[in-house]
Structures are given as structure tokens and as C-alpha cells.
């Protein structure tokens, strides 16, 4: 009888731990810091050329998500070095910026939101080849985009979201 109770309690504990882990795993995937982005080089003055990835059921949705991801990466994560470009730091270096300014970022990243002023797609058509991967439940697409880094930084500074470059530590 004791073995049975021990087995059932162990099984119950293992199940509870797995449920908590799944919630944490889902939260991690929704994080703005978990964005797949790579540098494509240096753009015109004040812009950054990036390739951002996104997952969605339809390719059209993935394209718009990838544009959002490109802007979100510049704001929250920064852009890694590559293709002749140096590493670009995140505009919001404060780890709590998203939580602190949640209502601002909800409006900023809504469909048709202000983020579109700061991103331009480099490829007009639908991505293909290595940039379009058919997944089990949709597509994973990469979009090549130009992000107006300097303009975005100025906008976020004016809104009080990011600290100015000349502000003290």
C-alpha cells in the first residue's frame, strides 16, 4: 500500500512540475527578448538592415509578425554583429521597459500601429527559398527589412520610454 501511495504521489508531483514548466516555456517563447534576428550589414545613415524571422499559420501573417519582430529586436534585444556591421545595442536597455510601459507598447505594436513608420521591407514579394519554411502548423518566414534606428530612438526618447544617449548613467 505504501508503495502505491508513494508511486501516485511521485507521479502527481512530476505532472505538476511538467505543467509549471510548460507555462514557463510558453512565456519564454512570447518574450520580446526571444526574437530570431540577424544583421545584413550597414544601411543608409541612421538605418539598420536586418533579417527577422516569424512563425504564423499563413505566410502573410508571418510577414507582418517578422516586421514587428525586427522593430522589437531593435528596441529590446539589439542586433548582433555580422556582415560587416558592428553589434547594435538595444534602444531600451532597461530590462523592465516592456512591463513598465505595457500600454504604450500595446498601442505601438498593434496591427497598423506606429511601428510601421520605422520599418521598410527590402523584399516586396513573399519570401521564398530558404526564407520560407513550411512547418507543421503554418510557416516560418524571414523578412529582410530596414529599421530606422535613429528615428526610432528619437521617438522613444521623446515619449519618455528610452533614455537619451547624453543622459547620465
39 and 24 housed in the same domain:
no
Is residue 165 included in any domain, yes or no? no
CA 122 to chain centre: 18
The verdict on 16 and 62 lying in the same domain is: no
Q: Same domain for 60 and 39?
A: yes
Q: What is the pLDDT of residue 28?
A: 46
Q: Indicate whether 123 pLDDT > 90.
A: no
In a domain? residue 24: yes
Q: What is the mean pLDDT of the chain?
A: 80
Number of domains the chain is built from: 2
Please name which of 104, 115, 110 lies closest in space to residue 159, comparing C-alpha atoms: 104
Mark whether 26 and 46 lie in a shared domain.
Answer: no
Q: Mean of the pLDDT values across residues 80-105?
A: 85
Please indicate, yes or no, if residue 111 is contained in any of the structural domains: yes
Of the ranges 25-29, 44-48, 69-73, 125-129, which is most confident?
69-73
Q: What band does 119 get if pLDDT is binned at 50, 70 and 90? A: very high
Backbone angles phi, psi at 49, to 5 degrees: -95, 125
Grid cell in block for residue 31? 518574450
User: 4 lies in which domain range?
Assistant: 1-30
Amino acid at each position: 500500500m505504501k508503495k502505491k501511495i508513494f508511486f501516485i504521489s511521485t507521479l502527481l508531483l512530476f505532472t505538476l512540475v511538467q505543467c509549471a514548466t510548460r507555462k514557463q516555456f510558453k512565456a519564454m517563447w512570447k518574450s520580446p527578448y526571444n526574437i530570431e534576428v540577424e544583421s545584413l550589414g550597414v544601411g543608409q545613415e541612421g538605418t539598420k538592415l536586418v533579417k527577422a524571422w516569424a512563425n504564423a499559420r499563413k505566410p502573410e501573417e508571418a510577414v507582418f509578425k517578422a516586421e514587428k519582430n525586427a522593430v522589437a529586436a531593435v528596441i529590446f534585444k539589439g542586433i548582433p554583429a555580422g556582415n560587416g556591421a558592428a553589434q547594435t545595442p538595444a534602444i531600451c536597455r532597461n530590462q523592465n521597459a516592456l512591463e513598465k510601459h505595457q500600454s504604450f507598447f500595446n498601442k505601438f505594436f498593434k496591427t497598423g500601429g506606429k511601428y510601421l513608420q520605422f520599418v521598410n521591407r527590402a523584399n516586396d514579394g513573399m519570401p521564398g527559398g530558404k526564407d520560407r519554411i513550411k512547418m507543421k502548423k503554418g510557416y516560418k518566414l524571414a523578412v529582410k527589412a530596414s529599421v530606422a534606428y535613429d528615428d526610432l530612438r528619437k521617438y522613444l526618447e521623446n515619449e519618455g520610454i528610452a533614455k537619451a544617449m547624453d543622459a547620465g548613467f
